[in-house]
Structure 1
Amino acid sequence: MDERAKRRGDARRERVREFALELPGAYEDFPWGESVVKVNRKIFVFLFLGHLVAGQGDSPPTVTVKLTDPEAHAHAMSAPGAVPTGYGLGRAGWVTVPLGEPGAPDAELLCDWVEESYRTIAPRRLVARLDAG
């Protein structure tokens, strides 16, 4: 991966991280030494730097979200390099999207997906706070 693609991916990842942390009750945690954002002790977005993507070596940073809406899920899966998340999470709607690939989704679309993942995971009272805000 070239340095420009890595910087582009890192910038998208940081914007998504900032957005996720603005959601009601959201906080960052570091299981496995990687950044995740949780609500109510449950992960709603993984923000991996890329080296944990199996078999990809020096891969770009990735964002992993849970998308249960079939249209949003299909859209995310159409992103360059997107894959169902490993460890069986893909069967539950989790999608891993590389951020440094040419044609990777922009930060605004990624934030939309993060919000959908949050709405799927967060308690109703926190989703209500988001809607009221």
Structure 2
Amino acid sequence: MSIRTDLRAYALTLPEAAEDFPWDDSAVVKVNKKIFLFLGPPEPSTGFGVKLVVAHGHALSVPGAIPSRYGLGRSGWVTVPYDAALPEVDVLQDWVEESYRLVAPKRLSKLL
């Protein structure tokens, strides 16, 4: 499996998470109509985006990671390339969960 596939599968296990395609074939995962994970298109997929506070510095330390474009970086969003030397998948899942907790209503975050 690819990192993109793993992150997508994990994100969809979170309470009330749903996949959406707001820009053609570029996938995102939302909770309560708010994006918490940018996955990009299936091919060629360059990277994923998550909103982070605690792990923000760690995510930016990945080679090629940058604050997300379109002003999202100012709000803590980080874009991490799939082809970089990434941390273990459980760390990436922690980043997805942190992003989820920052975006989801408190009633859903409490379910984790």
TM-score with structure 2 setting the length = 0.92
2:72 is matched with 89
3-state SS, counterpart of residue 18 of structure 2:
strand
TM-score with structure 1 setting the length = 0.78
Change beyond 3 A, Cα 1:40–1:95: same
Distance 2:105 2:99 in 1: 12
Change beyond 3 A, Cα 1:50–1:77: farther
3-state SS, counterpart of residue 111 of structure 2:
helix
Letter in 2 for 1:15: D
**Greater strand percent: which structure?**
2
* Aligned CA-pair RMSD: 1.7
Query: Structure 2: where are the runs of 5+ without partners?
Result: none
2:17 is matched with 26
Query: Structure 1: where are the runs of 5+ without partners?
Result: 1-9, 52-57
The equivalent position to 1:126 in structure 2, one of 89, 94, 108, is 108
Percent sequence identity over aligned pairs: 54
Query: How far did 1:106 drift?
Result: 3.0
Q: Which runs of 4+ in 1 moved over 3 A?
A: none
Please tell me whether Structure 1 or Structure 2 has the larger radius of gyration of its CA atoms.
Answer: 1
How many aligned positions are there?
Answer: 111
